[in-house]
Amino acid sequence: MRYAFQVQYIGKNYAGSQIQLENGKEIDTPTIQGELEKALCKLTCGKSANNNKRQIKTYFSGRTDKGVNSIGQVVHFELEQMIVASKFVYSLNEILPDDISVSDLRVVDTKFHAQKSAKKRIYRYEFINRKYKNAFDGDLMRVKFDINLERMQKSLDYLLGEHDFSSFKSSGTLNPSKVCIIYKAECLKSGDKVIINIEGNRFLYNMVRTIVGTLLEIEGHNLPPEHMKEVLEAKDRRKAGQTVSPYGLTLMKVEY
């Protein structure tokens, strides 16, 4: 049977969501997928489990990089036996590291695929807008200059719709298609924290972090919001801002 659940994790201690390969061989580095598959096998494979071989394969709705968090990552896997959802989730969470958890386990159709069936992904980026640090800022990036939310929103509005986002991708993008649809992009402020929510059908490698870096370049150099449109239309990564820290980025939700 095919099952799916949501996975929550704090990404700072992992090399990303996906198992890392080098020359076709798995690299011995901690990943969300690796920890999840080990826990699933420990729970379901029993004495037949082989620690050197992953006996349960998981499929993620999308790849997240080192340091990126998740609240709504969706993962599917297949298991021969029937399971009791509440008991299974409880037991799996007891096995997983403290910075990884699962919820909302359900049976899905065999045609369902966590990645290929997804219609929309929602990301959130957060950073601190304050001159001085605070011990409770955690790993969030701190921007010292004043942020103008109205200007930032105007910049974000240029990203809405279907576009070639080549200017905002890093070289690690595996999919040759650079066209994405952005349904919503907004910026909010809560106290000293700036929150940027972006919804799209798909995202390129480091796309959200580079968009945020471009927003900060526009604000930091007092460029017109139209600069975002110029960067977008250039289809040239050199025109965009820096790729900011991953620690403020969270995959919030995946819709099907």
* DSSP label at residue 113: -
Element (H, E) at 241: none
**DSSP per-residue codes, 206-225:** THHHHHHHHHHHHHHTT--T
Amino acid identity for residue 220 in this structure:
G
Q: Is 192 a catalytic residue?
A: no
Q: C-alpha angle 26/9/111, rounded to 5°?
A: 70
> How many angstroms separate the CA atoms of 190 and 213, rounded?
20
> How many angstroms separate the CA atoms of 173 and 211, rounded?
15
CB 62 within 8 A of CB 72: no
| Tokens linked to 228 | 């975002």
> How many angstroms separate the CA atoms of 246 and 9, rounded?
14
- What count of other Cβ atoms lies within 10 Å of the Cβ of residue 176? 5
- What count of other Cβ atoms lies within 10 Å of the Cβ of residue 134? 11
Q: Annotated catalytic residue: which of 65, 109, 137, 157?
A: 65
* Sequence-distant (≥ 6) Cβ neighbours of residue 36 within 8 angstroms: 7, 58, 75, 96, 100, 102
CB 6 within 8 A of CB 103: yes
Query: Which positions are catalytic?
Result: 65
